[in-house]
Chain A
Amino acid sequence: MEKTFRVEHKRGDTLDSFTFHGNIDALAELCLRELPALVGRPAVTIDFSNAGRINSMGIALLLRCLKAIREEKKAEITLDGLNQMTSMLFKMTGVFLLATQAK
């Protein structure tokens, strides 16, 4: 598993797909701050299957990023590739109030 955070972006006709790699912590700030500007479609999916540990700073940055996507881009967000630990963490910190977990 990569440690350093990076984002892959693919744009489809109706969907912006992002794949997160590495740990999501304070070092992810720049990437997550810039991510909302990349959104140009009404639907966004974020794949966490290659993401590592997400700490409280990472959660705070993620919340800010998701909020910006919803409010500034009016896009619906789906989170994919969540493991049990990440799902628990997102549930307890309010991430699922801003984004839907993929089925």
Chain B
Amino acid sequence: MHSNRTILAIFKDYEDAAFWSNLLRDVPGVVRVTAGDNPASILESLRQTGMEATLTIISTKLYPLNSQEIIPIVRKNFPATEFLLVSSSQEAAPPLQPLIKDGVRHLVIDPVGPDKGSQMVRAVRKLMEKSPWKMGDYLFSGASVHEFRISSSEQKEELISAIGGLIPGDSEEAEMLREKGALLADEMLENAMYGAPRDESGGKIFQKGEKRAMLPGERIVFRFGFDGETLAMEVADGWGSLSPETVMEHLEPEQEGGEVAGDWGGRGLFILWRFLDQLHISITPGRQTVVGGHIRLTTTEDPLTTPRGFHISTFN
């Protein structure tokens, strides 16, 4: 009999499974399946043993390009499972449309860098604990996290400047990180101040560019930290108005050339995702949205083509 907290890991073939085996060694209680082994039959057999897969890890070598049917097969047997898609940083990014259609909301790109551990292992722990990502997860122990509660839109430039002040040095990398940090903070703050506030019918309350103070009881908190290697930042708003489906739809590139979308937030989310190494969005509907992520000093790849991960989580 299996534990009711089993992790299922499904790979394309034995070579694919072998690639991930080192990282999975640190994760207890993983049942591994390769697609070549007739996964439909194996998963049904596992279900009949009483196994309940809390989390299903799927390699991008299998899904979505080589097997789009794997998600429905897993769901048929383990309806409550959460999916974590794992991809090697050496592979091309998976197409997003199948993920949007199938409601796959967690993608990690591994391996990412030295010293901070595996993105996949960290994601597995978070998903099994059902706990939100925290900025400290990506910063070296002891790194300071700065926190500011926003009272007015007039604070935006001051906060953006504060991020630049955290990153020392005249190197090209440092200058690039300051520029990226400024843009990311701008997008996160604009999203929280103008995109999140909604009236009862779901309409936006404020227009971008207008000066505004926080409403009575409204809470927007901006946090950021830099540990010498990684810049992490997040903005929490007290609206919880973003939906996972909307986020996923906005991660598709907008290359329509000149089309001015009515929802400015869409392009902002896309920019956030492409410039961050990993985008995190945690939504507690009607109560809170946290948009954040991290980026490394040494990230120099083309943000348009480099695979990027995301976690879009909902909490009650």
User: Could you list which residues of chain A lie within 8 angstroms of chain B, going by C-beta atoms?
Assistant: 3, 25-27, 29, 53-57, 59-61, 63-64, 66-67, 70, 83-85, 88-89, 91-94, 97-98
Shortest distance from the beta carbon of B62 to any chain A beta carbon, whole Å: 28
Cα(A51)–Cα(B187), bound, Å? 18
Interface residue from A59, A67, A98 paired with B267 (Cβ < 8 Å): A59
Are B180 and A67 in contact, CB atoms less than 8 angstroms apart? no
Cα-based distance from A53 to B303 in the complex (angstroms): 17
Chain A residues, Cβ within 8 Å of B176: 84-85
A16–B155 alpha-carbon span in the complex (Å): 37
The answer to whether B258 and A92 have CB atoms under 8 Å apart is: no
Beta-carbon nearest neighbor of B272 in chain A: A56
B16: Cβ under 8 A from any A Cβ: no
**Are A29 and B209 in contact (CB-based, < 8 A)?**
yes
Find chain B residues with CB under 8 A from A25 CB: 186, 208-209
B residues 207-239 near A (Cβ < 8 Å) are: 207-209
Chain B nearest CB, measured from A90 CB (Å): 10
Judge whether B257 and A60 touch: CB under 8 Å. Answer: no
- Contact between B261 and A92, CB atoms less than 8 A apart: no
A70 CA to B257 CA, complexed, in Å: 12
Cβ A57 vs Cβ B264 within 8 A: yes
Partner-binding segment picked from B134-142, B248-256, B286-294: B248-256
- Contact A26–B260 (Cβ < 8 Å): no
| Contacting pair A27 B209 (CB below 8 A) | yes
Q: Could you tell me if A57 and B208 are in contact, using CB atoms closer than 8 angstroms?
A: yes
8 Å CB contacts to A: which residues of B251-301?
253-261, 264-265, 267-268, 270-271, 274
Bound CA span A44–B40, Å: 60
Query: Is A94's CB under 8 angstroms from B255's CB?
Result: yes
A–B Cβ pairs within 8 angstroms, 9 of them = A53-B186, A56-B264, A57-B209, A64-B260, A85-B183, A92-B253, A92-B274, A94-B254, A97-B255
Chain B: minimal CB distance from A71 (Å): 8
B residues within 8 A CB of A61? Answer: 260
Q: Which residue of B lies closest to A92 (CB)?
A: B304
Chain A residue at minimal CB-CB distance from B257: A97
**Number of chain B residues whose Cβ lies closer than 8 Å to a Cβ of chain A:** 32
Of all A-B residue pairs in the complex, the 5 with the closest CB atoms, nearest first, are: A26-B209, A67-B258, A97-B257, A56-B268, A26-B208
Is the beta-carbon distance between A64 and B258 smaller than 8 angstroms?
yes
Q: Which of B157, B187, B259 contacts A56 (CB 8 A)?
A: B187
With contacts A56-B268, A93-B254 known, is A3 near B157, CB below 8 A?
yes
Cβ–Cβ < 8 Å partners of A70 in chain B: 258
Chain A, Cβ-Cβ closest to B300: A84
Q: Which residues of B contact A84 (CB under 8 A)?
A: 176
Q: How far is the CB of B157 from chain A (nearest CB, A)?
A: 7
Which residues of chain B have C-beta atoms less than 8 A from A54's C-beta?
183
Nearest B residue to A85, CB-CB: B179
Asked whether any CB of chain A lies closer than 8 Å to the CB of B110, the reply is: no
Q: How far apart are the CA atoms of A66 and B259 in the complex, in Å?
A: 11
Residues in B whose Cβ lies below 8 Å from that of A27 = 209
- For A55, give its contact among B256, B261, B268 (CB under 8 Å): B268
| A94 lies within 8 A of B257 (CB) | yes
Asked whether any CB of chain A lies closer than 8 Å to the CB of B302, the reply is yes
Closest to A96 in B: B257
Please judge, given known A-B contacts A53-B183, A55-B190, A60-B264, whether A92 and B303 are in contact too, CB under 8 Å.
yes
B17 part of interface (Cβ distance < 8 Å) = no
| B264 & A98 in contact (Cβ 8 Å cutoff) | no
- Distance (whole angstroms) from the CB of B162 to the closest CB of chain A: 15
Interfacial chain B residues near A26, Cβ < 8 Å? 207-209
Given A26-B207, A93-B271, A94-B258: 11 more A-B contacts, CB < 8 Å: A53-B160, A53-B186, A57-B209, A59-B271, A60-B267, A63-B258, A70-B258, A84-B176, A85-B180, A85-B183, A92-B253
